Structure 1
Amino acid sequence: MPIHYPNGKPYSAAAQIPAAQPVEYGGRGMTLEEELNQSNQYYRETQQAVVYKKPTPLQIVKVDYPSRAQAVVREAYFKTPSTTDYNGVYQGHYLDFDAKETKNKQSFPLKNFHPHQVAHFNACLAQGGICFVVIRFVTLHRLFVYPASCLNGFWQAAKADGRKSIPLSEIEAHGFELHAQLQPLIPYLEGVKWLIQTKRGTD
């Protein structure tokens, strides 16, 4: 028996059910930084690790006060160059890492890093810290934990007129691929465990 709407148009059940869409657990429009911040919150709440994004030190130059309860910063500058994005502790291990993205499909450009960031990684590695980069290949929808020691190898080679990027094949071979999920959005502790087991994050 056909069913009609009050306006006389026929009702189609199939038309009311949208086609199944692939589910992508992870970003939902968020930046890599936002996803990591949520993941860190989850790790803290579940007492798995204590990791925070480092605050960026700013020197405020000009502030406007449109009202007593509101202040608007009009001009500011960085006091010191920022080091890496995140640090904290996991089961007695000091963690220090950065988060980077690229739209490249075949390699990750070293220009995304600054000399002081690599120097900071090396200083932390010298103290036995677990240091790495969370790298996202945006176009490929792939995400890796890549050891800072490997990054430093390519950085030093680039300074000696070597290639200026890290091939995806190298990251696949010496990094740990992550797969986004509901909780946490970015399960980077799986990569940290791998780094500890293989000693790749402390060399």
Structure 2
Amino acid sequence: MSLEDEINHSNQYYLSRHIAVIHKKPTPIQLVKVDYPKRSAAVIKEAYFRRPSTTDYNGIYKGYYIDFDAKETRNKRSFPLKNFHEHQIRHMQECVRQGGICFAFIKFTELDLVYLLPASTLIRYWDAQASGGRKSILLTDIQQAGFSIDYQLNPRLPYLQAVDQIIAAKNKGAYHVE
């Protein structure tokens, strides 16, 4: 199961129990050519992206705006920052500035490990690479700064437990805006 499938399963669980409303954002595309072999079976033949997409998911939980992206890597020791784009990082930064809770799911597929990394940490590493810093985040750094999300039956990825910790830190003034 892909990371997005696991997140979608978890979000459906949260929605069905009235815990949170979090959805995958549609990718903004412009259709150019569509074939209609029959009315119920339209096939997109040509399309292009209207504008760069921001993050994968957004919604609301306990009155807080939630916004996050989901990324996977086959690397075993680090997560390459090239998996993100500048506009995604700046979007996350603006969401945090406005009081939202923003983060990235990072899955190490070869190790079957999933982490929730707060946007403030991701932004710090992103900005550091511009001034000669690492072009990746070490797994050990993600383990220290992020939250390990262990699989379970329902929800598949119980990530709102980590979000609760971010909310608690935010309420204590310990959640910093970059």
Which of 167, 171, 177 lines up with 1:196 in the alignment?
167
Q: Deviations over 1:167-193 (max 9, x none)?
A: 111111111111000000011101111
Report what 2:122 is aligned to: 151
Cα offsets for 1:17-51 (capped at 9, x unmatched): xxxxxxxxxxxxx1110111111000001111000
Question: Could you say which residue in structure 2 is the equivalent of 1:71?
Answer: 42
State percent identity of aligned pairs.
55
Q: Which residue of 2 aligns with 1:15?
A: none
**TM-score, scaled relative to structure 2:** 0.94
Structure 2 distance, partners of 1:127, 1:83, is 16
What CA deviation, in whole Å up to 9, does each residue of 1:78-127 have, x standing for no partner?
10101000000000110000111111111110000000000100110110
Aligned to 1:94: 65
SS at 2:132 equivalent: coil
Q: Does 1:83 align with 2:54?
A: yes
Residue 123 of structure 1 aligns with an amino acid whose one-letter code is: E
Instruction: Return the offset for 1:128.
Output: 0.4
Aligned residue for 1:13? none
- Cα distance between partner residues in 2 of 1:140 and 1:156: 27
Structure 2 residue 121 is matched with structure 1 residue 130: no
Aligned partner of 1:4 in structure 2 is: none
Say whether the 8 Å CA contact 1:131–1:202 is kept in structure 2: no
Shift in Å, 1:70 = 2.8
Cα deviations across residues 118-152 of structure 1 (Å, max 9, x unaligned)? 01001101100000011111111211110000000
Give secondary structure in 2 for the equivalent of 1:98. strand
1:165-184 aligned at under 5 Å gives the runs 165-184=136-155
Q: Report the count of equivalent residues.
A: 174
> Which one has the largest radius of gyration?
1
